[in-house]
């Protein structure tokens, strides 16, 4: 819920910022300040190409476009030291935070150092501007405070990382812990000599073409709650991808996992139909075999899910690493339940 509130506030803030930058660009263009207008346009481009403005901006080419707008803004601000207006240099106060938010840390550090050096050099060569030295002092101090803030943010992120085990949208366990947890379950199964299976659940992409992204995201929390109601206390489920979930079933053989997957698939189909969504669900099952590790077991379930979706979706498919009808070098998926 907190993450949803943060995204809501950031979205509203980004839209308000866009209005402000567009207004600045128009006014400066009307009053004959083209460089300031260009900086405002570049800042507006950074805002409108960011994920906080629209969730779909996280996919290519938007991150690259945002970085290009940022590079343009840096060049324009550097040019303002020598061409004016000098007041535009006050925009540099927020440049450090923007840099560390948009580009890798090494590049952001390099940009910060270059900007500070050029700003000091420009202040030494500027004539007729009484407050230029005070502005540079304030800029350097702001840069140092920004560096402290960035350090504290990264420190807090590292400290809280072990506590963030759940996906806020679906309440499923985070994908970052999937491989480690699956590795532990495999070791336990091999140590105790018990069966283990996993189920990969995916919304069929071919059926979601007519549904807006917002509608699909709105149903994900209900899918998470449904999965939680269908698993045992010692089972775990993860959000493996945007539209995929993975369930770990300790002590469950493949044939029983197929039955459980069908129950889950049909229940999700009914849930989606109740909410009027033209979506279907497919599942892929993989049982633990000798020599399997966390990566190979996930890959087997993913291959089974892919096979189910390639066959038209809305079905369950179990993966077998070997079969009398196939050679060891040509694994195939089997156990279809349409």
Token pair in block for residue 306: 């892919």
Low pLDDT (below 50) residues in the chain: 1-5, 207-212, 321-334
140 and 253 within one domain: no
All residues at 6 or more sequence positions from 10 whose CB lies less than 8 Å from its CB, including other chains: 52
**Are residues 185 and 288 located together in one domain of the fold?**
yes
Angstrom distance (rounded) from CA 269 to CA 203: 10
Residues 308 and 238 in one domain: yes
Domain assignment present for residue 168? The answer is no
- 187 and 62 within one domain: no
Q: Is residue 167 part of a domain?
A: no
312 and 270 share one domain: yes
Burial (CB count <10 Å: 0-12, 13-18, 19+), residue 334: middle
Q: What is the pLDDT of residues 25-68, one digit of tens each?
A: 899 889 888 888 998 898 888 888 887 777 667 677 888 898 89
Q: Are residues 36 and 147 in the same domain?
A: yes
Instruction: Name the domain boundary from 141, 162, 183.
Output: 162
Supply the pLDDT for residue 316: 93
Domain count along the chain: 2
d(CA 28, CA 38): 9
Question: Are 89 and 17 members of one domain?
Answer: yes
Same-domain status, 191 and 149: no
Predicted pLDDT of residue 160: 60
Q: Note whether 273 and 189 are same-domain residues.
A: yes
Which residue range(s) make up the domain with 25? 2-162
């Amino acid at each position: 819920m907190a993450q949803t509130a943060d995204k809501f506030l950031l979205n509203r803030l980004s839209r308000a910022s866009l209005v402000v930058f567009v207004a600045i660009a128009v006014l400066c263009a009307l009053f004959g300040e083209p460089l300031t207008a260009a900086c405002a346009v570049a800042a507006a481009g950074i805002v409108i190409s960011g994920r906080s403005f629209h969730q779909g901006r996280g996919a290519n080419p938007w991150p690259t476009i945002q970085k290009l707008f940022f590079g343009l803004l840096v060049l324009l601000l550097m040019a303002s030291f020598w061409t004016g207006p000098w007041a535009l240099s006050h925009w540099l106060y927020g440049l450090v935070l923007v840099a560390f938010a948009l580009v890798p840390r090494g590049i952001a550090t390099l940009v910060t150092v270059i900007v500070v050096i050029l700003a000091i050099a420009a202040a030494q060569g500027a004539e007729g501007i009484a407050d230029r030295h005070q502005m540079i002092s304030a800029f350097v101090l702001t840069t140092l405070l920004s560096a402290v803030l960035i350090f504290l943010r990264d420190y807090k992120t590292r400290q809280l990382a072990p506590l963030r085990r759940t996906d806020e949208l679906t309440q499923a366990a985070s994908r970052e812990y999937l491989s480690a947890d699956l590795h532990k379950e495999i070791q336990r199964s091999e140590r105790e000599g018990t069966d283990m299976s996993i189920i990969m659940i995916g919304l069929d992409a071919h059926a979601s073409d007519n549904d807006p992204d917002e509608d699909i995201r709105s149903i994900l929390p209900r899918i998470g709650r449904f999965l939680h109601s269908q698993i045992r206390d010692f089972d775990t489920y993860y959000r493996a991808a945007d539209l995929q979930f993975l369930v770990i079933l300790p002590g469950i053989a493949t044939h029983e996992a197929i039955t459980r997957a069908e129950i889950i698939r049909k229940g999700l189909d009914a849930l989606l139909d109740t909410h009027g969504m033209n979506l279907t669900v497919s599942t892929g099952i993989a049982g633990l075999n000798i020599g399997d590790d966390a990566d190979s077991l996930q890959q087997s379930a993913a291959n089974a899910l892919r096979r189910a979706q390639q066959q038209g979706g809305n079905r369950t498919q179990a993966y077998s690493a070997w079969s009398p009808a196939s050679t060891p070098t040509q694994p195939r998926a089997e156990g279809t339940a349409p």
